[in-house]
Amino acid sequence: MTDLSIDVGGLKFPNPFVLASGPPGTNGKVIKRSFALGWGGIVCKTISLDNSKVINTVPRYGKLHAREHPDEVIGFQNIELISDRPFDAWLDELADCKREYPNHMLVASVMEEYSRDAWHEIIERTQATGIDAFELNLSCPHGLPERRMGAAMGQNPEIVEEVVRWTKQVAKVPVWAKMTPNITDPTIPARAAVRGGADGISAINTILCIIGVNLETLRPMPTVEGFSEPGGYSGQAVRPIALRQVMEIARACPESVISGMGGIETAEDAVQFMLLGAHTTQICTGAMLQGYEMIEGLCSGLAGFMERRKFKNVREMIGVSRPHFDTHAGLVERQRQAKRDHAHRSNRDSTTWKGDIARETDTLVTE
């Protein structure tokens, strides 16, 4: 029998599938439903002390559809802000969720301004509800930059280290820092979070994007009274970017717990994150498009993969593929040393490209 459970820094997940912070965890009612359906854990929608400045728009989402299959959504943009619900209401509902589901992993996503006192207050008051861990939202790519919140904070490694250290001064449960992908080297803020004492790293948050322009109205999307703003990009199209960043963070912070996310829609998607170093995987857009019930397919798909590959438990999978990365110079040297004949696979431009670019491109694709 395969074992889908995993113990991560004292947190016992029945499976490695966690609902990521966002609409899927927007209140206590939906959190309880996700637990009842079998999700390994949930990160609630990001909360702050003062909800009065959080005002969302309608519409606030945009979809990128596949060209040949218009019903398939390959990319998703949101300009949604953090929770607009009162902090005290959240405290009541988090405590209620833990009373009803004491053995389920409930992670509180929190975001505050650049203030030690504010971070101390939100940590102390929230952890009194009995939540199992914190995820510091240092990475929301849009909204509230004027308050130095989200990515405006997470793009500065000195501030990341300082804020994590503030939270660790009062936190009695594990603290994960959620990283922004909107930066050249994702390992820099990740290492800063670890220096500050973070127990884990979550990656990635959404990528700043423009989903498109409506060619009938000539207005950017999603369109709010004729205007828009760059927002967070998610969905299956971001998965390759997320995999790269998770791999590099896991390699740079080998002792840290990693929660990987970005474009996960199937068990096979999630497995790739785990093979590159993620201990748990998070899903938001996938659940918004498929529904909470997708957890059944995720668990059965993971169990099937583990049985086929002879993995007895999830931990055996973590990081298995990460050592198989090298520099380009290293790849060239490995090919030079290979015993098999590569004569039919020339690496010289003068012999590779002759004019039939589509066919010639296919000859260079890995199987």
Residue 145: cis peptide before it, omega within 30 degrees of 0:
no
Helices (H), the chain: 28-37, 87-100, 116-127, 151-154, 157-170, 187-195, 239-252, 267-275, 285-290, 295-309, 328-337, 349-352, 357-362
How far is Cα 182 from Cα 188, in angstroms, rounded to an integer? 12
With helix as H, strand as E and coil as C, how does 108-127 read? EEECCCCCHHHHHHHHHHHH
Q: Is 284 a catalytic residue?
A: no
Of 44, 97, 140, 284, the catalytic one is 140
* DSSP conformation letters of 248-276: HHHHH-TTSEEEEESS--SHHHHHHHHHT
User: 326: which 2 tokens?
Assistant: 């090298």
Per the CB < 8 A criterion, the answer to whether 94 and 44 are in contact is yes
Residue 157: cis peptide before it, omega within 30 degrees of 0:
no
Radius of gyration of the chain (CA): 22
How far is Cα 295 from Cα 28, in angstroms, rounded to an integer? 19
Q: Which residues are catalytic?
A: 140
